[in-house]
Structure 1
Amino acid sequence: MLQSMLYLHAFNVHDQEKANKIIIPGFKLRSYQFSLAFIFAIEEINRNTHILPNTSLGFELYNVENNLQDIMKETYFCLTGMGIYIPNYTCKRKNKVAALLTGTEWETSVQVGRLLNLYKYPQITFGPFDDTLSDRVQFSSLYQTAQKDMSLSHGIVILMVHFNWTWVGLVLTDDHNGAEILSDLRREMDRNRVCVAFVEMIPDSQVYSGYESRTIHRNILKSSTNVVLLYDVTQYLYDLIIYIGIHSITWKVWITKSQWDVTTDVPYFVSDPFHGSLIFAQHHADISDFRKFIQTYKPSIYPEDYILALLWNRYFNCSFSGPNCKILGNCQPNASLEMLPRNALEMDMTEESYNVYNSVYVVAHSLHEMTLKQVEIHPHGNGEVNTYPWELHPYLKNIHFKNGAGNLMVLDSQRKLEAEYDILNLWNFPDGLRQKMKVGTFSPKAPQGQELCLSDHMIQWAIGFTELPRSVCSESCVPGFRKSPQEGKAACCYDCTRCPDNEISNETDMDHCVRCPESHYANTEQNHCLQKVVTFLSYEDPLGMALINLALGFSSLTAVVLGVFVKYHYTPIVKANNWALSYILLITLIFCFLCPLLFIGHPNTVTCILQQSTFAVLFTVAHSTVLAKTITVVLAFKITLPGRLIRWIMVSRAPNLIIPVCTLIQLVLCGIWLSTSPPFIDSDAYTEHGHIIIICNKGSTIAFHSVLAYLCSMALGSYTMAYLSRNLPDTFNEAKFISFSMLVFFSVWVTFLPVYHSTKGKLMVAMEVFSILASSAGLLGCIFLPKCYIILFRPHRNVLSHVRNKAHSRGKVDLTA
């Protein structure tokens, strides 16, 4: 690839005709615009009376093959001014060298710069900014016109995020620029959660061959990504680009920089794969007169421009004539460069041509400042520019001016300017059009989130895409699912896993599911939290209604039994079984049956405290009454020859003291419970899906089980005493009934404990209510119903003579009557 080297010098006005020699053995058309911008800037400066008055700029153009030998040879030609290269010699006496402009490849600038640095010749590069060239130790005489791409990597990644492209391939040069670019891109991509599908590094050497192009092209096609970034397109990528253009069958979206001009660098027959490419170009203001210059740039005005003659011959059917083949005849009338096809020559000033234009002005302004300085020192001189090249350096370092477009120009490499970028879209329809259309801008100075301004509807995508291209490693996880990373793969490659119970994801591609608050639950799709319904064992609930009816029914039945006992209080069977204790037990059972009403309905602090304490005290009274009755029966039937003490106990009814004593113990236990860890209102949000169950938390489970253990110990005592009197006379002996009632009590509460702990929510409350009703019903049914049966249906057995006959027949004395 040929690289331009522009040689610029100053001369007096009367010598101008000697300096218009243009040596162009064979420019590429892309480089040809550099020379047009170069000549345009020089002519514009020479016409300007405010810059270098009485002095004109001359120039020479060189094309340099990209090899060390040609680079050094052409540099020596430039320095000596002869067709041979002689170190440390120059024949340029009158027209002094002002500066040397070097082209787009940094290798060319490096090789030339090392030589020019020895002679302190000013060198200005108009190619992309390169950190290597900023080394003032190696290249103290080199200056860069282009701004450093401080935010281009960020802009490219923002573009990827805008289109949701998270799976992108990178093709870079394998040099220091490529390494720095890769580092910047990875940092930006990681920050924005964009993954690298592959990285292909193009060898930066002459040994790069078609084999590497085929291998890299195969890797690109094999990748699942639809977006590939060609970041720093240099001559080493040219073979790959040609190979892609000829052999690509899979369409990709290519993102490039403006330094690679696909409209002119690639033959027309291979450009279709790059249709729809997105190009980042540094924004610059238009130089209005440049198009006018192109319109008037013709062979008749610039006969020395051999390339211009070739263009006229090819596109306008002109024929060469004359001994030097520069005179053209039979040309199309009114022919101009503007009439060339778009794919032949870019009419608008490109980014690099803009840098060429600014470079010439940098040299001109520096020469102007140096001339003014000389005039101040030698006010009586003849006005000629009589300087050495190295004298220009102080002025180049401090240059500071606005160009014809109003943009500020400086050459300070330490000054970091964030350039704005135009985003161009390559159109190739109709075939061969190759038009770059501006579809957006990227401004790093804009507020966050507004840096990218894009007209999506204007973008033409590659032929293979009928809609916005997708480039992802894994398809998006819809709401209700979360991303599950695939082991050993990039973060953008994942599986979609449904959210766990009561967790949701309401956005696409969420990394983690979000748990619903306790007051809400996840819907079936697990993409939204719904408000839970507050519930409890209410009066309207069928289960609560059934338990209420049972409680009221049993309490009414107990009241009826009490009424029967009161009505027949004079009968032997009521008297024989200690009617006072029977009344106490029946009244207590009525309250025991009504106790479950505290467990039903909306819990509050009062009911939560009363539930367990009321249940414990009432059942203690009931059991202590049963125990007193049992002891009375045993004393009555077991003592055949009662002594004075036993008779006093029976007459004074001392066993009845068991009731207050046992009740007091239970009250102490309940008092400790309520003072240390009392029951409180609690909610259960997990037992029933979609419901929050309001329940009473028992507080201290140890206290609750201690109360139950105390009740069971009293029942065990009653059962033991009743068991001792199992063989006593049956007529008025209720020991067997008490034993059976205690067995029922044990069965209920032993069953209650495991079932209670295995249930949750309302069922736990219902289970305790049912146990209270069942154990209370056991006491009522086993102890009192047989007596009611005798009182109401067997009255002949409820007479004193029958009682005595039964007693004498068994040889026992009835002391309870």
Structure 2
Amino acid sequence: MLPNMTLGFEIYISHYVETDLLENPLIVLSGRNKNSPNYSCRREGKAVAVLTGSSSTSAPIGTLLDLYKFPQFTFGSFDPVLSNQEQFSAVYQMASKDSALALGMVSLMLHFHWTWVGLFITQEDYGMWFLSELREETGKNGICLAFEHMITYNAIPNFSNDALAHQKIMESSTNVIIIYGDIEFLLSFILKLGDFLITGKVWVMNSPYDDVTLSKRYFLLDSFHAPLFFSHHHGNISDFTSFIPTSNYSKNSEDIFFPKLWIRAIRCILIKSDCTKLGHCLYNATLDWLLGHIFDTAMSEESYNIYNAVYAVAHALHKMLLHHTEEPPVDNEQARTFLSSQLHPFLQRIQFTNPVGEPVVLNEERKLEAEYDIVNFWNFPEGLGQRVKVGKFCPAKRQLILFENLIEWPVGITETPQSVCCENCGPGFRKAPREGKDPCCFDCAPCPENEISNATDMEQCVRCSDHQFSNTKRNHCLLKAESFLAYEDSLGMALACMALCFSAFTAGVLGVFIKHQDTPIVKANNQTLSYILLISLTCCFLCSLLFLGRPHTATCILQQTTFAVVFTVAVSTVLAKTMTVVLAFTVTAPGRRTRQLLVSRAPNLIIPICTLIQVTLCGIWLGTSPPFVDTDAHSEYGHIIILCNMGSIIAFYCVLGYLGSLALASFTVAFLARNLPDTFNEAKFLTFSMLVFCTVWLTFLPVYQSTKGKVMVAVEVFSILASSAGLLGCIFAPKCYIILIRPERNSLHRLRERSQSQRNKP
């Protein structure tokens, strides 16, 4: 490229004072040491491009140079403001876009579980742009900013502002602090805050700050020890690395770079008569003597941008010269003169591969997202000054790779530091936000019953499914055990034994009555109805067994219907016996209708009629909404109750209500006939038996409604057994006593004597 042509350069120091900032650009445009706007006093050729550093100087200079369409290359950090082509059409930013820097830093925070971080940021426009990007990424990933402190870059120290920044750091509980700004901002910030002793903080930066070490003295404790910074990934230029060690200085050297470097590095004495020469220093020394933190032979990020900018100018000039060479010459044409503004069409289309082998594109729309190297600055012991690559971040793949064993943490930290507002909520707890605080500041609340959290820092507890329940630590769901009144349970076994014993005892009473069926006491109490009552009571005792064991569809249907029908038969039999007694004592003259009813045994018709009504009600119940097997997973902790659902609760209470009305009618009739005189009158016994029956079932209703699970079933079984036993004991116990123990009273002669004695009583 560029045969017979050499690129030269001029260096101008940018002023920090805003009023003098445009002085040097005007000199570039007007001529050396001249400041005449719109006039060129140069005799030699003009410069074709300008290279500028930080955005704080690039933006004002760019506004001026854009008037002349003078190409400007910025080698500092990428600034979104300079991307405005309407305002800065002549500006080309060599740095890669930092659009993924916020994502990379947040990925680093997530890797180490740092959710509570501080931020110092420049107040320039690009700082505000980065802040919005960082807020968006932190909001997505649950990271909170403990503080956001904006600082305006100022070369002049301001103790009050520096003390305020130091106070922010010391008062905050965060252990990780992000610093974002250009090189000048970082140098100024670190040099100022370095006067305060700050330990135990992890610093994350967007650019390396190697030059800071040139001004530092050797202290054991360093406030900015072992920072992590994100640097744009680029290859190493081997020619530069091999050139530096071969450069040396001599006593008569006119290059002032080497003496100044040695003065700052090893504090040599400068000879006053000649400021470019050294006094008490070795001669013919090379730069490879210097420590790595004083002069790093690896090309820095800004130097790499300058390198690419020079090559971009060279490529554009080369293409422009080729383009004009290919044009046909004009007769008597003088030598062509080129204007810097003519480079723009070629710069805008420039795309080449630099000697490192990496693509260089000036068009921002075609630029690729930069990859970042994560570098750790080793400087312990003080003076080591070694930059170590400990990882990288690839935005395209959203991939973070870290080698944690290479990271050197700040002094006083022996393991990976933590930076959270609150301690993590372990399994069994959930995060309860604090009112008016950041989401990262929370309390740990235990999970409610039957809910769990099996991970750290869960926002909400998860409810266990219906067939599971939470353990005592609320961090795991366990399978619920099935619960029903089984025969193997002690309660179920006791009820089953009671049912079998009572049914056997009832069968024994029936056998006694059949054996002594010719005795007066059996004949006097309507032996047919007694047989029916005893058989129905036996069935009542046995039907309670349907409520035991694991419920099935058949048992669920038979439970209530069988219970309702057999108890209807028993109660209607008691009513028939009572009506028989009443009719027997109201007969005073033969031929009366009452006597005909008694002789024809009409009261016995009460049993089939009442039973038929109950069977009809049960049939309607089964036809509309029959009982079915159901589960209850909520009433009993840790258990799934297997139960029989009534289907239609209205039908169930109708059946139960009908049975209760029969019992009430029987009790009323028996109560009215309790004082009728006769030796074997059982009206009193019937009254007492129905009183027991009604008391049991009136007590059953509220208890049944207030219990759940197997206890509810046990209550119903116990009520069946108690009411049946009440009927059996109150009605038949006195008769069995006379038949078996006092047989002398079970005779016709004894019956006449007792009847005569009752008539003679006043």
Shorter-chain TM range is over 0.9
1:144 to 73, 80, 93: 93
Tell me which moved more, 644-653 or 575-584.
644-653
Inter-partner Cα distance in structure 1 for 2:182 and 2:348: 30
Aligned length: 758
Secondary structure of 2:365's match? coil
Q: 1:396 maps to which residue?
A: 347
Aligned to 2:447: 499
Aligned CA distance change for structure 1 residues 313 and 397 (closer, same or farther; 3 Å): same
| Aligned pair partner of 1:791 in 703, 728, 739 | 739
For 1:498 and 1:142, how far apart are their aligned partners in 2?
Answer: 59
| Cα deviation, residue 724, structure 1 | 1.5
User: What code does the residue aligned with 2:409 have?
Assistant: W
Answer yes or no: is 1:670 the counterpart of 2:621.
no
Specify the SS of the correspondent of 1:56: coil
- For the pair 1:638 / 2:589, whether they are aligned, the reply is no
User: Which whole-Å CA distance do the structure 1 matches of 2:414 and 2:336 have between them?
Assistant: 64
Seen in structure 2, the aligned counterparts of structure 1 residues 329 and 357 have a Cα distance that, compared at 3 Å, is same
Task: Give the equivalent residue in structure 1 for 2:74.
Answer: 125
Contact 1:96 1:387 in 2 (8 A): no
Q: Residue 232 of structure 2 contacts residue 373 of structure 2 at CA under 8 Å; is this kept in 1?
A: yes
| TM-superposition CA deviations, 1:391-447 (whole Å, max 9, x none) | 11111111111111111111112334211000001111111222211000001122x
Give the 5 Å matches for 1:310-349.
Answer: 310-312=260-262, 315=265, 324-326=274-276, 332=282, 334-349=284-299
* Of 126, 136, 139, the match for 1:177: 126
What's 1:587 paired with?
A: 535
Residues 1:524 and 1:318: Cα distance change in structure 2 (over 3 Å): closer
Q: Which residue of 1 aligns with 2:476?
A: 528
* Pair 1:337–1:69, CA change in 2 (3 A): farther
Q: Which residue of 2 aligns with 1:88?
A: 38
Alpha-carbon distance between aligned partners in 1 of 2:169 and 2:272, rounded to the nearest angstrom: 53
**Cα deviation per residue 1:554-604 (whole Å; 9 max; x = unaligned)?**
001101100110011011111111100000000111111111111111111
Query: For residues 678 and 77 of structure 1, what CA distance do their matches in structure 2 show?
Result: 103
Q: CA deviation at 1:801?
A: 2.9
TM-score normalised by the chain length of structure 1: 0.89
- Inter-CA distance 314–663: structure 2 relative to 1 (3 Å threshold): closer
Deviates more, 1:616-625 or 1:125-134: 125-134
1:751 correspondence with 2:702: no
Aligned residues of 1:316 and 1:332 also touching (Cα < 8 A): no
Q: 1:630 to 1:330 in 2, by over 3 A?
A: closer
Selected match of 2:4 from 28, 50, 54: 54
Give the secondary-structure state (helix, strand or coil) at the position aligned to 1:61.
Answer: coil
- Which among 415, 418, 423 is matched to residue 369 of structure 2? 418
Residue number in structure 2 paired with 1:537: 485
- Superposed CA deviations along residues 434-481 of structure 1, whole A, max 9, x for unmatched, are 2211000001122x5xx0000011111111212110000000011111
What is aligned with 1:214? 163
Distance across 1 between alignment mates of 2:140 and 2:162:
31
What is the distance in 2 between the residues matched to 1:623 and 1:55?
Answer: 127
Read off the aligned partner of 1:536 and give its amino acid letter: F
Note if contact 2:268-2:278 (Cα within 8 Å) is conserved in structure 1.
yes
Give 1:350's aligned residue. Answer: 300
Q: Report if aligned partners of 1:233, 1:259 keep a CA contact under 8 Å in 2.
A: no
Distance in 2, Cα, partners of 1:528 & 1:302: 81
Partner of 2:392: 441
Which deviations, in whole Å up to 9, do the C-alpha atoms of 1:759-785 show, x marking residues without a partner?
111111111000000000000000011
Pick from 225, 228, 237: which aligns with 1:275? 225
Contact 1:628 1:659 in 2 (8 A): yes
State how far apart, in whole Å, the 2-side matches of 1:702 and 1:600 are: 24
Distance change >3 Å, CA 749–CA 266, structure 1 → 2: farther
- Change in CA separation of 1:571 and 1:779 when aligned onto 2, cut-off 3 Å: same
2:194 to 221, 240, 245: 245
SS at match of 1:668: helix
Local SS of the residue matching 2:560: helix
Distance apart, 1:242 and its partner CA: 2.6
Q: Distance in 1 between matches of 2:590 and 2:470?
A: 75
1:69 to 1:313, Cα distance in 2 relative to 1, 3 A: same
**Using a 3 Å threshold, how does the CA distance of structure 1 residues 445 and 711 change in structure 2: closer, same or farther?**
same
Q: 1:641 Cα deviation (Å)?
A: 2.9
Name the SS of the counterpart of 1:687 in structure 2. Answer: coil
Q: Is 1:285 equivalent to 2:235 in the alignment?
A: yes
Q: Is the 8 A contact 1:317 1:331 kept in 2?
A: no
Q: 1:316 to 1:525 in 2, by over 3 A?
A: closer
Aligned amino acid, residue 256 of structure 1? M
Take 1:409 and 1:301, find their aligned partners in 2: how far apart are those partners? 41
With normalisation by structure 2, the TM-score equals: 0.95
User: Does 150-159 or 320-329 show the bigger shift?
Assistant: 320-329
* Distance in 2, Cα, partners of 1:667 & 1:602: 26
Which digits, 9 at most, give the CA deviation of each residue in 1:727-773, with x for residues without a partner? Answer: 11241110000000011011111111111111111111111000000
- Bigger CA drift: 306-315 or 473-482? 306-315
What amino acid does structure 1 have at the position aligned with 2:490? P
Alignment check: 8 A CA contact 1:535 1:691 kept? yes
Q: Pick from 551, 562, 569: which aligns with 2:499?
A: 551
Change (3 A) 1:175 1:533: same
Q: 1:205 to 1:320 in 2, by over 3 A?
A: closer
CA contact (8 A) 2:190 2:224 kept: no
Give the alignment partner of residue 550 of structure 2, picking from 595, 602, 605.
602
Q: Matches of 1:319 and 1:384 in 2, distance apart? A: 52
Structure 1 residue 67: deviation in Å?
Answer: 2.0
Distance in 2 of aligned mates of 1:302 and 1:566: 145
Q: What residue number does 1:193 align with?
A: 142
**Correspondence 1:371 to 2:321:** yes
Query: What secondary structure, in the 3-state scheme, does the structure 1 residue paired with 2:145 have?
Result: strand
Q: Decide whether aligned partners of structure 1 residues 469 and 233 sit closer, same or farther in structure 2, where only a CA change above 3 A counts.
A: farther
SS at 2:89 equivalent: coil
**Distance between the aligned counterparts of 1:735 and 1:247, measured in 2?**
107
Q: List gaps (5 residues or longer) in structure 1.
A: 1-50, 813-817
Letter of the aligned partner of 1:557 in structure 2? F
1:519 is aligned to 467
Question: Equivalents in 1 of 2:210, 2:365: separation in Å?
Answer: 29
Cα offsets for 1:692-732 (capped at 9, x unmatched)? 22121222222222212111111111111111211112411
2:457 aligned partner: 509
What is residue 725 of structure 2 aligned with on the other side? 777
What is the rounded CA distance, in whole Å, between the counterparts of 1:494 and 1:365 in structure 2? 58
Distance 2:2 2:414 in 1: 58
> Conserved in 1, the CA contact under 8 Å of 2:470 and 2:477?
yes
| Letter of the structure 1 residue corresponding to residue 108 of structure 2 | L
2:300 aligned partner, one-letter code: T
2:601 to 653, 661, 675: 653
* Aligned counterparts of 1:239 and 1:368: Cα–Cα separation in 2: 40
Shift of the 606–319 alpha-carbon distance from structure 1 to 2, 3 Å rule, reads: closer
Q: What is the match of residue 338 of structure 2?
A: 387
1:228 aligned to 2:170?
no
Once the two structures are superposed, the pairs formed by residues 95-106 of structure 1 within 5 Å of their partners are 95-103=45-53, 105-106=54-55
The alignment yields a C-alpha RMSD, in angstroms, of: 2.3
1:254–1:278 contact (8 Å) kept in structure 2: yes
* Counterpart residue type for residue 176 of structure 1: D
Distance 1:388 1:378, change over 3 A: farther
- Aligned equivalents of 2:460, 2:215: Cα separation in 1: 47
Contact 2:218 2:382 in 1 (8 A): no
Q: Secondary structure at the match of 1:747?
A: helix
Q: Distance in 2 between matches of 1:383 and 1:299?
A: 45
C-alpha separation in 2, matches of 1:318 and 1:702:
107
Q: How does 1:72-87 map to 2 (within 5 A)?
A: 72-87=22-37
Change (3 A) 1:322 1:691: closer
